[in-house]
Structure 1
Amino acid sequence: MNLDIESGQSTRYMQVYDYYKELILTRKLPENTKMPSIRRCSEQLGLSRTTIETAYLCLAADGYIISRPQSGYYVTGRPLVPSTLSAQISKNIHNSTPQAVYNFTSNNADADSFDFNLWKRYIKSALRQDKRMLTYGEPQGERELRETICNYVINKRNAVCTPDNIIIGAGSQSLLNILCPLIRDKHSVAFQDSKFEQGTVIFEDYGFAVIQDKEHADVLYMTPSNMTSLGDVMPMEKRLSLLRDTVSHNRLIIEDDYNNEFRYFSKPRPCLQGLAGGTNVVYLSTFSKLLLPSIRLSFMILPDELLPLYQRKAALYNQTASKAEQLALCQFLRDGHLDSQIRKLKRLYAGKAKTLATELEQTFGDQAFVTMGESVTLVHLHIKSTLTNQQFKEKAAKKGILVFASPKETKEYAHIALSCCEVPAADFHDAAILLHDIAFCN
């Protein structure tokens, strides 16, 4: 297939469209010739199936090919209509309000981010433990997994704990449902990110007042390794100051250690829980970001002062995490695969981020500049525009591109950030062109 897909500034699906249109009009693809399948064409050109499917839809709309059920697309020979309907399809792609054609805010995993065959082996090994699979398991989480996690957070995050401090659950929400009844002496909570609705709803359900004023909150929900949607990290001086204020005002900190491993320029900073010596801080973390979003395994480290309250009620809580997944994860960690998985993810997402940055730089030229922040998954685009960051974000959303808007406004530039996790690298070119159109075309 002799198609130089990189040439030109038109979108890739239109390049594929023009290529096949020329072959059909010159009779190099005779009537009734079967078109390559979308999957095969995608593999040959190194493009996403969405791109190929859109090109085929345009060809079909103009009458160059026809879809036959259970068979595929076939050449018709000539256009069925004199007008070019594909132009209208292309216009609709640019001007309609689709549902996230390119979602640069998603935390969903890249298709190449995980070794499914390896994980299947550990799941199968867990399921072979017949007798253990016949019981519900420990409400607090399987003991060997808690021991393994304990070793991990002590060595990697400088945490202070024992396996008895650790509670396993299927996601942070299930763990917050355990925590809230233990802190009835607290009445208000403030979130570092006011948009964390999944946490807000839990505290509201338990009667906590969710307030903006962190100085007067009894509980602070902090994400020091991911302070904003742009991946900002809390400096060490701020961490120590926060802990001093917590002690002097008798506050409780809930530390959500989300995204601590994905750093470009620095090593992960010590967690607040460890800096506090294990007191006044509840530590939350998850393996979903490192493994798969569908593997719902999170854990919470309770400070010693809350343990007696929990232990009196522990037997009343059902374990929400799969026992098979707990046992599989335990052996996965013990065999050292998590470290190799983290290295793999860093390489993958750093490579995707650089590819996205290159596409943006080539498309925007001197109309914008690109920077890389602390987070290995984020690319920052600074566009010469009179639009505010939020206005650009909203305009992009109407075109089907979801991006993060920086909370800090400047007069000369609209600053947005794009997560490279979910969107395939093959789609970066088209996405960059659409972002350019959004910025500079009415």
Structure 2
Amino acid sequence: MARAAVPVLSSLGPVVLDRDGGEPLHRQLYHALRQAVLDGRLRPGERLPPSRALAADWGLSRNTVVTAYDTLLAEGYVTGRVGAGTYVATSLPDAAPGSLPARDEVRRGIGLSDRGRVLAEAPAIARDRAGRPFALGTPALDVFPFALWAQLLGRCWRQGGRTLATEPDPLGYAPLRAEIAAYLRAVRAVRCEPEQVVIVSGAQQGLALLAQLLLDPGDEAWVEEPGWPGNRAALLGAGARLVPVPVDGEGIDVAVGMARGAGARLALVTPSHQFPLGVTMSLARRLRLLDWAAARDAWIVEDDYDSEFRYAGPPLAALQGLDGAGRVIYVGSFSKVMFPALRLGYVVVPPDLVEPVRAARRHFDGGTSVVPQAALHRFLADGHFASHLRAMRSLYAAKRSAILASIRDAFAGFATAEAGEAGMHVLLRLPPDCPDHALAGRAARIGLTTPALSGYHRDADGIAGNGLLLGFAAHEPAALDRAVRDLARLCVGDRN
């Protein structure tokens, strides 16, 4: 993006104009000069540069500068006449110079709604964009076929540009919805037709949309304990009252959920690969959860965020496929299989929710951008997705084995790894006298991203214990081994 920073006056300091931005240059110049007057950087009676000289210094047309000066003159910030000298007014229309608070002080005074405050104060989701070892949720971008993806984008635009440029269906691009429905039926045993598939801008948007549509402020919603902060934030944004339900080796404990929140309107679960513990929900728990939802007329939202990467046996059938009462809504994403910036996910809703969801999308954002949907349709239909997924499964299985071997060697007798049967991370269990949050802080100082298990608890007295989450998908085995040994030296080395 082309920008220019040129001092207009010594008292004004450098001003930046965004020449590629959406706001006209004369408005940008007007705002910059007006703010300088209000801040007191341009003082009452001070002369502004002649419009011709300022235009030459900035590489602007003289009309741009004249228009900005005329606006300031009309609003009373400057006096004089263009061509005969322009001066800062001695009496301002809004306030005296320096009397306005700074921009950040103004923003702190903005009143948020109750839900807005809850969202603003929700724990931040840690994002590591520097590619440091153990960052969570980052796929192996070095092996994604980006050249092929670029070709598909270009081909879709050339062949269907006029059609793709029209207003999108709020539910998504119809050919992509049909392809996703066929894939989910074949691979995940999801019971759905293309009409039930809704394309969203990432799974997080899908969860937020469902929460807004299905929950009233104050409604109870079950969340897994521990669990992903983003899921909780989506429910909090709808004003829900969260009911933390512990997770054990069989998944979410439905009996505890019924005792703590029998009247809940919704349960948000990750049955195929629970985050962060990595366990799979047992069949007994699945059936009991479905019975609860049917009896209470409640909703179950199944977040199937990375079950494609399963290393023991065939992919598990989705919870949605067992649902005979139409109470399960299935949510998935392509971000972890392909690349995070794609921001394309999908929601499979029961038939009677299709039209309410369509209306909600129409009012919220009108739908998701169509061009990447068309390219994704070709990526799936032409077999590229299946091929890429097979390659990633094999690659990640090797990396998973490598990091587990490194942990056994470097942490022998001190800590153990729990890998589960799927996913892109392992859980390193630590002894009680090695607090995970303290170790995570020390690891960050040597360039390692190791989220602490305790950070995913809503309640301080959770049952999951003490540990670190180690993502392995984005790094080669040798790099993972070095990082594991560096981490081990931080805690094991202190005792030797």
Q: TM-score, normalised by structure 1?
A: 0.69
Structure 1, residues 340-380: CA drift from partner, whole Å, max 9, x if none? 11111111111222233343444445655556431253345
CA drift of 1:180 comes to 3.2
- Inter-partner Cα distance in structure 2 for 1:105 and 1:402: 5
SS at match of 1:402: coil
SS at match of 1:254: strand
Aligned to 2:233: 201
Q: Which has the larger radius of gyration?
A: 2
Question: Could you tell me which of 259, 265, 269 is aligned with 2:316?
Answer: 269
Q: Does the CA contact (< 8 Å) of 1:231 and 1:373 recur in 2?
A: yes
- Inter-partner Cα distance in structure 1 for 2:420 and 2:491: 22
- Which runs of 5 or more structure 2 residues have no equivalent in the other structure? 1-127, 246-256, 455-462
> Quick one: structure 1 residues 117 and 302, their matched pair in 2 at CA, closer, same or farther if it must change by over 3 Å?
same
Q: Does the CA contact (< 8 Å) of 2:228 and 2:275 recur in 1?
A: no
CA drift of 1:395 comes to 4.2
- Number of aligned residue pairs: 342
- 2:487 aligned partner, one-letter code: L
Question: Could you tell me which of 277, 294, 305 is aligned with 2:352?
Answer: 305
Aligned to 1:114: 144
SS at match of 1:190: strand
> Quick one: structure 1 residues 197 and 389, their matched pair in 2 at CA, closer, same or farther if it must change by over 3 Å?
closer
SS at match of 1:212: strand
Aligned to 1:418: 470
SS at match of 1:243: helix
Alignment partner of 1:153 is 2:184: yes
Q: Does the CA contact (< 8 Å) of 2:199 and 2:346 recur in 1?
A: yes
The 5 A counterparts of 1:164-179 are: 164-179=195-210
SS at match of 1:403: coil
Alignment partner of 1:210 is 2:242: yes
Alignment partner of 1:143 is 2:146: no
Alignment partner of 1:282 is 2:329: yes
> Quick one: structure 1 residues 427 and 133, their matched pair in 2 at CA, closer, same or farther if it must change by over 3 Å?
same
SS at match of 2:308: coil
Q: Does the CA contact (< 8 Å) of 1:141 and 1:319 recur in 2?
A: no
Which segment drifts farther, 329-338 or 394-403? 394-403
- Inter-partner Cα distance in structure 1 for 2:427 and 2:204: 30
CA drift of 1:432 comes to 2.5
> Quick one: structure 1 residues 354 and 176, their matched pair in 2 at CA, closer, same or farther if it must change by over 3 Å?
closer
Structure 1, residues 123-142: CA drift from partner, whole Å, max 9, x if none? 11111122123213211101
CA drift of 1:390 comes to 5.0
Alignment RMSD: 3.0
CA drift of 1:310 comes to 3.1
- Inter-partner Cα distance in structure 2 for 1:184 and 1:379: 34
Q: Percent identity, please.
A: 27
RCO comparison, higher one (Cα < 8 Å, 6+): 1
Which segment drifts farther, 158-167 or 189-198? 189-198
> Quick one: structure 1 residues 222 and 243, their matched pair in 2 at CA, closer, same or farther if it must change by over 3 Å?
same
Q: Does the CA contact (< 8 Å) of 1:123 and 1:324 recur in 2?
A: yes
Alignment partner of 1:435 is 2:487: yes
CA drift of 1:284 comes to 0.6
Aligned to 1:190: 222
Which segment drifts farther, 250-259 or 113-122? 113-122
Alignment partner of 1:258 is 2:290: no
CA drift of 1:389 comes to 4.7
Which segment drifts farther, 373-382 or 362-371? 362-371
Which segment drifts farther, 178-187 or 214-223? 178-187
Q: Does the CA contact (< 8 Å) of 2:156 and 2:371 recur in 1?
A: yes
Aligned to 1:335: 382
Structure 1, residues 203-233: CA drift from partner, whole Å, max 9, x if none? 3232222232532121101111221313221
Which segment drifts farther, 215-224 or 356-365? 356-365
- Inter-partner Cα distance in structure 2 for 1:184 and 1:249: 14
- 2:144 aligned partner, one-letter code: F
Aligned to 1:123: 153
Alignment partner of 1:132 is 2:163: yes
- 2:308 aligned partner, one-letter code: E
- Which runs of 5 or more structure 1 residues have no equivalent in the other structure? 1-97
Q: Does the CA contact (< 8 Å) of 2:436 and 2:453 recur in 1?
A: yes
CA drift of 1:285 comes to 0.5
CA drift of 1:394 comes to 4.6
CA drift of 1:103 comes to 3.8
Q: Does the CA contact (< 8 Å) of 2:170 and 2:368 recur in 1?
A: no
Q: Does the CA contact (< 8 Å) of 1:174 and 1:320 recur in 2?
A: no
- Inter-partner Cα distance in structure 2 for 1:337 and 1:219: 36
Structure 1, residues 280-333: CA drift from partner, whole Å, max 9, x if none? 111111111111111111011111232343345554343453211100111111
Question: Could you tell me which of 130, 134, 152 is aligned with 1:104?
Answer: 134
- Inter-partner Cα distance in structure 1 for 2:220 and 2:444: 34
Q: Does the CA contact (< 8 Å) of 1:182 and 1:306 recur in 2?
A: no
Q: TM-score, normalised by structure 2?
A: 0.62
- Inter-partner Cα distance in structure 1 for 2:431 and 2:205: 44
Which segment drifts farther, 237-246 or 109-118? 109-118
- 2:139 aligned partner, one-letter code: A
Aligned to 2:341: 294
- Inter-partner Cα distance in structure 1 for 2:337 and 2:432: 36
- 1:327 aligned partner, one-letter code: A
Structure 1, residues 219-249: CA drift from partner, whole Å, max 9, x if none? 1011112213132211222111211121122
Alignment partner of 1:325 is 2:325: no
Question: Could you tell me which of 374, 392, 395 is aligned with 1:345?
Answer: 392
